[in-house]
Structure 1
């Protein structure tokens, strides 16, 4: 993060340049004026600048002191040399004060119907989150029209309980599965989609939606066409403004929100189909947040860490550029993706394996009693084991340290975070938030 520290001190060096240029304009004989300027320079560089530096230091580093008070830090559990017995013994123990926040930026928590544990955790740790997104809806083509599927997933009782337990905004996810070539080129279909979404929010009392469409549009290959790409951006903008024109059922002073899901670039250089910094800027007025999927870096065909720290940094660098954490940066609208799931990859006897939940992970620890390793480059924990057929596996699963490191990375950029998904994690992860 040295480069970002350099960016933070840039204003001071610019200020120094302005002071130096003003002294060069002094004329001979104006000794009193020169003396005053020398005194001013002394004050600026030896009194004001150190004072500002102390203030910046306190702003940046005062909060870590507060964070170390979280229950997992108190118990000394956030560390590299963790062992399996400690995880088995401690993972279910959390602070009695489940409403206390240790992370002050926005936190979006995803919940999936196929992992019902997330529903209970959303109620239990509601105060930790600013946004909760149950994965409920799909917007699909039906003949020449559209249909919004998934209302049967919406649990009214759970919504009412959620409202009572905290103030997190409820934004169900909608996946746009309509055929993009037809959808984007037909104004009536775009208007119909917006009407379906806005109407559902009104009827169900939602605070907005999380929309996922970019990855599907990229898969169909339409984003390589400049005109289609422009239509795609126009639709997102139109939807955002339509939602903003409606007040939330809970608070008539709050507009309905739009969070848009974006994937990380597929290479170090942005491709035509990638969502880039220009897209981020163009949609910043219409979109309230961007859920960045910085996970799934590895897969069964290329086993490895889920979200290497260097990859996360390079992704943020590509999206935010040199603006970084400046006032004009859209970083505050980024929800940096953090995975609460892991992967169990097959390393020998044929590639394979896949995602595991916290329950799966604990079972593997109990059965194989492995030695956990901290991999510095990726900032992730992993372990190896051999199954009953003597086939070697590598298991990558989040740890308190790996999550803590990513929270600090997001904080350094001024980003929020999004968690996929809370039902797949371990209970004591929430003490970090």
Structure 2
């Protein structure tokens, strides 16, 4: 059904009407209520397969007042980015719903035979203290994501193939942890090297060494891993087993399934389940943090791209009625046309998130959310 809709949608994109949209009314709109409220989204009957635009616009800023209340037992990782600053507030308000918060601050770069960490200008010690205070019941940990940047093929060869280089890399990370009082890192290296190595043995051995050093220093190591795409499995069950005892968790990137070349749902729920069970077919999934997108996609005749909260809400104001629901992907979408043309928008809803959390409970995985600044405040009632 949805495939036929897309075909019709893109055929119609070539047909433009000459009618001028009605001018918006000049009357100032009533500002929606915001902040803590006495009932959660379940008690407010807001979880539905076809929410109306009005329901979302009027309720998305209201969240249950007991922000220490939790509904999920596994590891919950939330990413925070400097370019979506609301995520900093979310981490402080809902800190007790997370076991780990990962600010996207840092990059590690080669500097001659040594390494340097850049991005520490974004480190906010007061914010870290506030998050840890908010998450004191769960004892939330601050684990910045560290991205390898500026590495050539030769740089990777030295890093993975020379023990001295590996130890310098580890020391650089440990020294920064000690200086800034981090609780560990989310390490992003596997996606960059997926498909580029003849043998993954050197990469596995490298991560094992990093993990061993982190454990000896009582630090957490979360490894970012890519999902399966079109029958290609860039991270295998054998690699999962080889690294299981050396990392705290695996952050599985189960989102961005569709793109502007292939418009559609961001993370079909059956695909997500397949990604999980293919990596760990026999259980032992507690260390898999299933990726949950708190952003959407806006497809337009010119392409479009990722859409965040304020853009989504602005487009939602043009929707008269309810969102559509695709049962196969378990995602909501809507189509609107405004002054700048047609928009086909996919964005998570309470229902789509709730169904994915049910899946994670069933498969006994954790959660990783990309990212806190992009979602709606009432989403966190579900955690």
1:382 aligns with 2:333: yes
Q: Which has the higher contact order (CA 8 A, sep 6+)?
A: 2
1:89 aligns with 2:58: yes
User: Separation in 2 of the partners of 1:192 and 1:144?
Assistant: 9
Higher mean alpha-carbon deviation, 368-377 vs 108-117, is at: 368-377
Shift of 1:105: 1.4
Q: Select 2:213's aligned residue among 242, 248, 257.
A: 242
Q: Select 1:110's aligned residue among 79, 103, 106.
A: 79
1:279 counterpart residue number: 239
Shift of 1:265: 1.5
What do the CA deviations read for 1:170-197 (whole angstroms, capped 9, x no partner)? 1111012233233222322211110000
2:181 counterpart residue number: 205
> Number of matched residues?
339
TM-score by length of 2: 0.85
Shift of 1:312: 0.5
TM-aligned CA distance change 1:375 to 1:187, over 3 Å: same
Judging by fraction of residues, say which structure has more helix: 1
Contact 2:40 2:381 in 1 (8 A): yes
1:303 counterpart residue number: 263
1:173 aligns with 2:132: no
User: Separation in 2 of the partners of 1:104 and 1:315?
Assistant: 21
User: Separation in 2 of the partners of 1:368 and 1:379?
Assistant: 20
Q: Select 2:172's aligned residue among 192, 196, 215.
A: 196
1:250 counterpart residue number: none
Q: Select 2:196's aligned residue among 222, 226, 242.
A: 222
Contact 2:114 2:169 in 1 (8 A): no
User: Separation in 2 of the partners of 1:70 and 1:332?
Assistant: 31
What do the CA deviations read for 1:13-43 (whole angstroms, capped 9, x no partner)? xxxxxxxxxxxxxxxxxxxxxxxxxxxxxxx
4+ long deviations beyond 4 Å = none
Contact 1:140 1:148 in 2 (8 A): yes
- 1:49-198 map, 5 Å: 71-166=40-135, 167-177=139-149, 178-179=151-152, 180-198=156-174
Gaps of 5+ in 2: 1-37
Cα RMSD for the two superposed structures: 1.5
User: Separation in 2 of the partners of 1:209 and 1:183?
Assistant: 18
What do the CA deviations read for 1:318-354 (whole angstroms, capped 9, x no partner)? 1111x13xxxx2x0000000000111011x3x4x101
User: Separation in 2 of the partners of 1:336 and 1:188?
Assistant: 34
What do the CA deviations read for 1:196-238 (whole angstroms, capped 9, x no partner)? 00111111111111100111112xx432x12xx2111111110
User: Separation in 2 of the partners of 1:233 and 1:193?
Assistant: 15
1:21 counterpart residue number: none
1:409 counterpart residue number: 359
Shift of 1:356: 1.1
1:332 aligns with 2:306: no
2:304 counterpart residue number: 353
Q: Select 2:369's aligned residue among 419, 423, 429.
A: 419
User: Separation in 1 of the partners of 2:295 and 2:326?
Assistant: 18
Q: Which has the larger radius of gyration?
A: 1
Q: Secondary structure at the match of 2:62?
A: coil
User: Separation in 1 of the partners of 2:196 and 2:306?
Assistant: 30
User: Separation in 1 of the partners of 2:273 and 2:39?
Assistant: 26
User: Separation in 2 of the partners of 1:210 and 1:244?
Assistant: 14
User: Separation in 2 of the partners of 1:406 and 1:213?
Assistant: 26
Gaps of 5+ in 1: 1-68, 247-254
1:29 counterpart residue number: none
What do the CA deviations read for 1:267-294 (whole angstroms, capped 9, x no partner)? 2353xxx111111111111101000000
